[in-house]
């Protein structure tokens, strides 16, 4: 890839404007509603609060995007901040017509849509179970990551009280894409931005438009409404974790060691160990050293 110019990086950090998204917002378009904020501590927190307090104002495929997110949240209580304009930080409200047992697929469905959007932009992206998007791009191994580098984080959260609603669960899906950060601006050694990967497509508006379109397609497949979308096999094809020798830190403190061999019916990672196959439903997955 050709490294992006300083001018391209500067253009990518120009403030997001609501009018730039007008062609994709409205009835029968990719998004029902999109609020563009100059700054927000966390787009997920903002959308969770809004959807819980005013559910009628936030239909499916509504979203909040922040030009600058100052206290982004990740899984297991992790948090981070990004430089002004350097990332695409957006949260979408999903109201999928799926059973409660299928909600575990949410981060994989959202991650799959993100992979497709990044591949459209020329980036060889893959899923890392359960909620990261990665690219094989490192020149040296990093413990737990090998040569894979995290480019996107996904955080899916159920709107409080919505599971019991007759309309079904409402899910806030937060997506943070590292776009134009320099190596010194990245929070951890195993992170990468589109710029550090050499990608030239750093337009955050174009990325969000593509992401919204792919998210609609992915959710339709999740709901089983698309004749040409075979969700589980397609997700498995882009899940880099499958085939890895892994160590999984479980929430209760136990450790699962083996080879990731597929995805289970609930969206868990199937790990083949000496004692048999375990479906891991939650945990931190590390690449195991040979």
Query: How does pLDDT run along the chain (290 residues), one tens digit per residue?
Result: 456 778 888 889 999 999 999 999 998 899 999 999 999 999 999 999 999 999 999 999 999 999 999 887 766 566 677 889 999 999 999 999 988 888 999 999 999 999 999 999 999 999 999 999 999 987 789 999 999 999 999 999 999 888 777 777 999 999 999 999 999 999 899 999 999 999 988 999 999 999 999 999 999 999 985 555 568 899 999 999 999 999 998 888 888 999 999 999 889 999 998 889 999 998 889 998 75
> What does the pLDDT read at residue 162?
80
Per-residue confidence (pLDDT) for residue 1, from 0 to 100: 47
Per-residue model confidence (pLDDT) at position 165? 73
Residue 105: φ, ψ to 5°: -80, -10
Can you give the pLDDT at residue 225?
A: 57
The burial of 92, by beta-carbon neighbours within 10 Å (0-12 exposed, 13-18 middle, 19 or more buried), is given as buried
> Which CATH number among 2.120.10.80, 2.30.30.100, 3.40.50.360, 3.30.710.10 corresponds to the domain 245-287?
2.30.30.100
3-class SS of residue 148: strand
The residues spanned by each domain of the chain are 6-237, 245-287
- The listed CATH number (3.40.630.20, 3.40.309.10, 1.10.645.10, 3.30.930.10) that belongs to domain 6-237: 3.30.930.10
**68: preceding bond cis by omega (within 30 degrees):** no
Does residue 16 contact residue 35 with C-beta atoms inside 8 Å?
Answer: no
pTM: 0.93
How far CA 209 is from CA of 167, 218, 263, in Å, comes to 27, 14, 29
Predicted confidence at residue 226, as pLDDT, reads 58
Geometric angle at alpha carbon 207, from 227 and 55, rounded to 5° = 70
**Alpha-carbon distance values, 125 to 110, 119, 193, 262 (Å):** 13, 6, 12, 18
Which DSSP letter does residue 5 get?
A: P
């Amino acid at each position: 890839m050709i490294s992006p110019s300083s001018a391209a990086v500067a253009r990518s950090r120009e403030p997001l404007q609501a009018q730039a998204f007008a062609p994709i917002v409205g009835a029968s378009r990719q998004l029902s509603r999109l609020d563009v904020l100059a700054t927000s501590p966390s787009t997920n927190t903002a959308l969770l609060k809004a959807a819980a307090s005013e559910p009628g104002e936030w239909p499916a495929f509504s979203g909040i995007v922040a030009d600058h997110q100052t206290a982004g949240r990740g899984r297991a209580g992790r948090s981070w901040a990004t430089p002004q304009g350097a990332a695409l930080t957006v949260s979408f409200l999903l109201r999928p017509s799926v059973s409660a047992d299928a909600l575990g697929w949410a981060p994989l469905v959202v991650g799959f849509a993100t992979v497709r959007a990044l591949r459209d932009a020329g980036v060889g992206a893959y899923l890392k179970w359960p909620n990261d998007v990665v690219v094989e791009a490192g020149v040296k191994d990093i413990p737990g990551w090998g040569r894979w580098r995290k480019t996107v984080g996904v955080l899916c959260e159920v709107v409080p009280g919505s599971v019991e609603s007759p309309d079904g669960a409402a899910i806030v899906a937060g997506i943070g894409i590292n776009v134009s950060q320099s190596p010194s601006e990245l929070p951890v050694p195993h992170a990468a931005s589109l710029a550090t990967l050499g990608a030239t497509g750093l337009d955050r508006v174009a990325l969000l438009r593509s992401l919204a379109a792919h998210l609609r397609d992915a959710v339709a497949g999740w709901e089983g409404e698309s004749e040409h979308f075979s969700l589980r096999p397609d997700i498995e094809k882009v899940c880099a974790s499958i085939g890895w020798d892994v160590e999984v830190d479980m929430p209760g403190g136990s450790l699962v060691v083996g080879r990731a061999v597929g995805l289970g019916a609930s969206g868990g990672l199937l790990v083949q160990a000496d004692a048999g196959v375990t479906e891991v439903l939650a945990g931190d997955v590390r690449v195991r050293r040979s």
